[in-house]
């Protein structure tokens, strides 16, 4: 781990430090949530498709039964690892609580994985049990038969829930003193946009601290409010929001098996969903899809919270105008469990293109490539420090030392800027900046401009390396609405809006869909390795 220059510019949260910090098992933390103490029969989950509901009492009764079943029949003990490879289910939160109640560790897996990818996660985490679904069972069986897997049992989540009814509930294990600070709860795997996914060691205290941090920011989290629940619980964003933050505040969550835009539009009216947690690709749908007008949801949604990747101001304004709602964006990563920044919804003059301010008990720096802090208004890599920062990468001390300093600063890999009000803005990824003839060009900036074109449904930009020029040229990949617009017309329109080094000298490629991971991040590695594309307008620019 690297040592730091002691002369630093450190930002702190305007909300100060957390008070009454909780230390203990995150299941006990949930059971003792104030809304549940006041009303154990509070309805916390509803199935978007069937309308079936679960109260807090029912959730924790089921979780206790799951604990007993897993320990008695499947031999799951303290520190054993269980992989959950499943789309969202009404019972998923209770299953999480049941596993963690034993002191076991959960490794949630992306349902888009092919057998080799799942095997990598199973092998690294040394999972003993896989909980999945019938639809994914072939993938599970192939993955567990490959070298490296130590899985002993496989069960569907439906069978697990049904079988647990024959067992009596048992209480979660206690984590005394500061045990929760180091006791692993999750091995979530990073998105892998910059390489093979790494296992992130998330502790019980990481989880409970971030719930408390978010609650101080009062993000509409309270009894009586209903939120969407289509973000995958296999990803830290959906996992934390749907299983911890929202129910702990007493809010109701409508659970979707997976994201379906038309089902979402139907459910907004059917279930009175007034608050949505979304990722940028879904925001684009709300801005551009004709289905929005068909379902007449204008005025039905009060607020949308977007994370995972930066939003442009123009996209925010499109959605707000179309739906008559308020859009906010925050910031976080798998390694920070996840939220580090949120806006204050009570401040009307904050810049919506920003990510807000540090949550309580968080500190931040903005650092140049030489490790020196940049002044306000300057751009540099965002470093953060706080109780929600991961313990490290699973069995990967080298990768851990590359991102965690000796005194706890986590290097996010994102380029940030801080304004005079100390509101933060994410500009781009450090490794994704395009070096165009000595200029640094942020792909996110170019993508935001492309998305303002009425015929562009989605866009991604990478740097195309031209060896003879010793430079990279911006190349755009776009999804176009209809067939009456030529990509060269879009290129001409775009090039007129930007400075010379930002123009699309690398050309334009038309695609059916931009490759993205489940959290909405563009898979630029896939775009860089593509071959055989018809590139419109590629030229030696002679910048």
Q: What is the per-residue pLDDT across 123-171, written as a single tens digit (0 to 9) for each?
A: 999 999 999 999 999 999 999 999 999 999 999 999 999 999 999 999 9
Given this model, what pLDDT does residue 238 score?
Answer: 95
CB–CB of 424/380 below 8 Å? no
Cα atoms found within 13 Å of the Cα of residue 157, Cβ hemisphere only: 24
**Given pLDDT bands bounded at 50, 70 and 90, which one contains residue 6?**
very low
* Range list for CATH 2.30.38.10 in the chain: 1-17+354-431
Given this model, what pLDDT does residue 483 score?
Answer: 84
Given this model, what pLDDT does residue 470 score?
Answer: 64
Write phi, then psi, for 246 (nearest 5 degrees): -70, -50
Q: What is the per-residue pLDDT across 36-94, written as a single tens digit (0 to 9) for each?
A: 999 999 999 999 999 999 999 999 999 999 999 999 999 999 999 999 999 999 999 99
Given this model, what pLDDT does residue 193 score?
Answer: 47
The mean-pLDDT minimum among 57-61, 99-103, 112-116, 493-497 falls in: 112-116
Comparing 307 with 174, the larger pLDDT belongs to 174
Of 279, 372, 269, 283, the C-alpha closest to 320 is 283
Helix-then-strand count for the chain, H and E: 19, 27
Rounded to an integer, what distance in angstroms lies between the CA atom of residue 33 and that of residue 56?
10
Given this model, what pLDDT does residue 442 score?
Answer: 80
Q: If you average pLDDT over residues 237-259, what whole number do you get?
A: 97
In this predicted structure, the answer to whether residue 469 has a pLDDT above a threshold of 70 is no
Rounded to an integer, what distance in angstroms lies between the CA atom of residue 516 and that of residue 451?
16
Given this model, what pLDDT does residue 8 score?
Answer: 72
CB–CB of 515/523 below 8 Å? yes
DSSP state of 215: H
**Residue 153, exposed/middle/buried by CB under 10 A (0-12, 13-18, 19+)?**
middle
Of 3, 361, 66, the C-alpha closest to 206 is 361
Given this model, what pLDDT does residue 518 score?
Answer: 73
Which one of 3.40.47.10, 3.30.200.20, 2.30.38.10, 2.60.98.20 gives the CATH number of domain 1-17+354-431? 2.30.38.10
Given this model, what pLDDT does residue 48 score?
Answer: 98
Rounded to an integer, what distance in angstroms lies between the CA atom of residue 466 and that of residue 540?
9
Rounded to an integer, what distance in angstroms lies between the CA atom of residue 394 and that of residue 263?
37
**Cβ–Cβ contacts within 10 Å for residue 499, how many?**
10
Rounded to an integer, what distance in angstroms lies between the CA atom of residue 12 and that of residue 211?
18
**Given pLDDT bands bounded at 50, 70 and 90, which one contains residue 2?**
very low
Rounded to an integer, what distance in angstroms lies between the CA atom of residue 229 and that of residue 277?
8
* Range list for CATH 3.30.300.30 in the chain: 433-528
Q: Mean pLDDT for the chain? A: 92
Quick one: 433-528 is in which CATH superfamily? ANL, C-terminal domain (3.30.300.30)
Q: What is the per-residue pLDDT across 231-243, written as a single tens digit (0 to 9) for each?
A: 999 999 999 999 9
**Cβ–Cβ contacts within 10 Å for residue 467, how many?**
6
């Amino acid at each position: 781990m690297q040592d730091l220059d002691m002369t630093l510019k450190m930002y702190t949260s305007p909300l100060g430090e957390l008070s009454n910090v909780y230390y203990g098992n995150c299941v006990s933390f949930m059971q003792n949530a104030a809304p549940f103490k006041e009303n154990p029969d509070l309805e916390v989950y509803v199935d978007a498709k069937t309308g079936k509901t679960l109260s807090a009492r029912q959730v924790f009764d089921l979780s206790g039964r799951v604990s007993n079943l897993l320990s008695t029949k499947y031999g799951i003990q303290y520190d054993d690892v269980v992989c959950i490879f499943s789309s969202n289910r009404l019972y998923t939160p209770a299953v999480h609580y049941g596993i963690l109640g034993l002191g076991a560790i959960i490794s949630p897996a992306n349902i888009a994985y092919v057998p080799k990818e799942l095997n990598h996660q199973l092998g690294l985490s040394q999972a003993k049990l896989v909980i999945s679904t019938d639809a994914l069972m072939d993938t599970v069986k192939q993955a567990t038969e490959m070298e490296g897997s130590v899985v002993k049992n496989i069960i569907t989540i439906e069978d697990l829930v049904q079988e647990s009814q024959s067992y009596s509930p048992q209480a979660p294990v206690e984590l005394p003193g500061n045990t929760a600070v180091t006791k692993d709860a999750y091995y979530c795997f990073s998105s892998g946009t910059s390489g093979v996914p790494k296992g992130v060691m998330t502790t019980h205290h990481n989880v409970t601290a971030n719930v408390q941090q978010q609650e101080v920011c009062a993000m509409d989290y309270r009894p009586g409010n209903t939120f969407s629940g289509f973000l995958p619980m296999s990803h830290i964003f959906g996992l934390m929001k749907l299983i911890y933050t929202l129910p702990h505040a007493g809010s109701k969550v409508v659970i979707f098996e997976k994201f379906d835009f038309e089902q979402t539009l139907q459910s907004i009216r059917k279930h009175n969903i007034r608050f949505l947690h979304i990722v940028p690709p879904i925001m684009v749908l709300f801005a551009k899809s004709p289905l929005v007008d068909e379902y007449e949801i204008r005025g039905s949604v009060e607020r949308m919270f977007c994370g995972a990747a930066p939003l442009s101001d123009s996209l925010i304004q499109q959605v707000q105008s179309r739906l008559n709602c308020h859009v906010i964006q925050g910031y976080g990563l798998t390694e920070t469990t996840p939220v580090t920044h949120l806006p204050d919804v009570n401040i009307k003059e904050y810049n919506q293109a920003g990510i807000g301010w540090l949550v309580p008990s968080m500190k931040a720096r903005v650092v140049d490539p030489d490790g020196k802090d940049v002044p306000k208004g300057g751009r540099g890599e965002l470093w953060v420090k706080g109780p929600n920062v991961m313990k490290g990468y699973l069995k990967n001390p080298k990768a851990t030392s590359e991102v965690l300093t000796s005194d706890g600063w986590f290097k996010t890999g994102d380029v940030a800027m801080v304004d005079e009000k100390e509101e933060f803005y994410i500009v781009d990824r450090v490794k994704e900046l395009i070096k165009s003839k000595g200029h640094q060009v942020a792909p996110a900036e170019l993508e935001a401009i492309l998305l303002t074109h009425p015929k562009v449904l989605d866009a991604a930009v990478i740097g195309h390396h031209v060896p003879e020029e010793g430079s990279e040229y911006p190349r755009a990949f776009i999804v176009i609405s209809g067939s009456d617009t030529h990509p060269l017309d879009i290129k001409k329109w775009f090039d007129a809006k930007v400075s010379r080094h930002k123009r699309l000298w690398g050309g334009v490629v038309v695609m059916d869909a931009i490759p993205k991971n489940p959290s909405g991040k563009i898979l630029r590695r896939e775009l860089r390795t593509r071959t055989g594309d018809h590139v419109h307008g590629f030229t030696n620019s002679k910048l």
